[in-house]
A = this chain, B = another copy of it.
Amino acid sequence: NNYFKIAVLPGDGIGPEVVSESMKVLEAVEEVFHCRFQFSYGLMGAEAIFKTGDPLPEETLKICKDSDAVLFGAIGDPVFDNNPEAKVRPEQGLLKLRKELGLYANIRPLKTYASLIDKSPLKREIIEGTDIQIFRELVSGIYFGEKFTDPDGKYAYDVCKYSTEDIIPIAHMAFKEAEKRKKKLTLIDKANVLDTSRLWRKTCQKIAIQYPDVQLDYIFVDNAAMQLVLNPKQFDVILTENMFGDIISDEASVIGGSIGLLPSASIGEENALFEPIHGSYPQAKGKGVANPVASILSTAMMLDYLELTEAADKLRRAVEHAIENRYVTVDLNSEQHYSTSEVGSFIADYI
């Protein structure tokens, strides 16, 4: 199969700019690797609220369900961030999309780039050689449990619920990845306090029997938040629940000093979505300063998912080539820098 339907959700802020560089790169891939991408656009986020009143219009959902993969930019707009009372919010669109597409595993690879290591807030000797793969459960836990605020505004609650069925698929995915890497899997939880964490531990312990080569470690989330800064190299593959994953993966993303480079994949049984981990940076919108690399590397993860492995590898080499040659946006080099679209074209040309 060399024909793929790609749903494109540019979203808010710098989302459209970086996604359009990904599409430029995919057009180069089409030429060289003899495949075809058919793009269908969908509205999502603040953009969608402004135009339709709905952060995830039915049509967008349909386009995504019909696609082989979803390319997503970013969501979020200060109009909503500064108004906690807003009833309709961009984030609802993203959460609903994750749930509807069953994207149960959010995967974030974290690497340091030799030429960028000095941009990190952490010391070189602490981070050099860090190579972590985070698996965050994405469609259960406190994000999707029952929520309630009493009408008088006197109390509220959020329920964190997990069943073994929510845990098993992503645990297998993480164990399989650990088998391919250093055979070390770390489960982050709070099993000294939470029943759901103890369920995660027991479930993972059982699954571990099927992966005798992989060493399964546990670490409490508070300690993990410390260890990621003290000694990130101790981690290889990390597995964790939704809320802890949100916090820990964002914390980990600053290690390399180059958040503008970090991609992510959200994978389900039948669908998959690829997005840079950075946000919508409304301040940078339309200025041509956004770094397209995170979106382009997310596109490489998409190519892997579509089993276009050669193209994915080529794309990653193209990105490394650009970084090594300091052909980068202003976030990575304030002296000599190129625009979003120049960096995208440089990478596309290399392909």
* Interface residues, chain A, with chain B CB atoms under 8 Å away: 84, 89, 91, 95, 121-123, 126, 142-143, 145, 147-149, 153-164, 190-196, 198-199, 201-202, 218, 221-223, 225-226, 228-231, 243-244, 246-251, 253-255, 259
Contacts and interface: CB of A to CB of B under 8 A. Distances in A.
Nearest to A198: B84
11 contacts: A84-B201, A84-B218, A121-B126, A149-B199, A155-B164, A157-B159, A158-B195, A159-B160, A190-B246, A244-B247, A251-B251
Contacts of A229: 121-122, 229, 251, 254-255
Contacts of A225: 225, 247-248, 250-251
Contacts of A154: 163-164
Contacts of A248: 225
Nearest to A152: B164
Contact of A89 (B123, B126, B192): B192
Nearest to A127: B121
Contacts of A250: 222-223, 225-226
A251 to B, nearest CB: 4
A228 B158 CA distance: 26
B221 A247 contact: yes
Nearest to A193: B143
Contacts of A198: 84, 149, 156
Contacts of A164: 153-155
* The 9 A-B residue pairs with the shortest CB-CB distance in the complex, in nearest-first order: A155-B163, A225-B251, A222-B250, A157-B161, A156-B195, A156-B199, A147-B195, A91-B192, A121-B126
B222 A190 contact: no
Given A221-B247, A250-B223, A158 B194 contact: yes
A322 B196 CA distance: 45
Nearest to A246: B222
A84 B250 CA distance: 28
A247 B122 CA distance: 19
A199 B159 CA distance: 15
Contacts of A123: 121-123
A278 to B, nearest CB: 11
A197 to B, nearest CB: 8
A247 B222 CA distance: 4
A160 B160 contact: yes
A170 to B, nearest CB: 16
Contacts of A243: 190
Given A221-B247, A226-B251, A155 B162 contact: yes
A225 B142 CA distance: 18
Max chain B C-beta neighbours (<10 A), residue from A154, A250, A255: A250
Contacts of A244: 247
A255 B159 CA distance: 32
